[in-house]
Amino acid sequence: MNRFWSLAIAALAIAPRPQDPAKERLRQALGDNELAGTWIYDDLEAGYAEAKRLDRPMMVVIRCVT
C-alpha cells in the first residue's frame, strides 16, 4: 500500500492543488498527509467539476483513515 502512495506522489510532481478550506481542516484533523495538496480531498463534487473541465477520467480512491 505504501509503495502505491509513494509512487503516486512521485508521479504527480505538480504544484499543490487548492482545496476547500473545510476539507483541508478535515485532512489536517485526520493527519492524512501523504497526498496533501496533490489530490482532491474528500470532495467528489469538486472532482466531477475538475474532470468535466479537463475532460479527463477520474480515479476515486475510497480509503477510510483510522
Partner 1 sequence: MDRFVCVRVVQGWGLDLSLFQYDWRQTWHVFLMNADREIYGRYSAHHSDDLVALRKAMEGALELHAGYPANKGELAGKRGIALPWKRPEEMPALRDKGMSGPVTGRHGCIHCHNIQEGATKSYKALGLPLPERVSAPYPTTQRAGFMLDSAERATVTDVQAGMPAGAAGMKVGDRLLRFGGQPILSIADAQWVLWSGPDAGPVKAEVDRGGQKLEVELTLPEGWRTK
- Tell me which residues touch partner 1 (CB under 8 A): 1, 3-4, 7-8, 11-12, 14, 25-26, 29-32, 35, 38-44, 46-52, 54, 56-66
Amino acid at 47: G
Report the residue number, 16 or 64, with the smaller CB distance to partner 1: 64
Cβ 12 to partner 1 shortest distance, Å:
6
35's grid cell? 497526498
Question: CA 9, 13, 19: angle at the middle one, nearest 5?
Answer: 75
Cβ 18 to partner 1 shortest distance, Å:
14
Report which of 65, 44, 50, 53 is spatially closest to residue 1, judged by C-alpha positions. Answer: 65
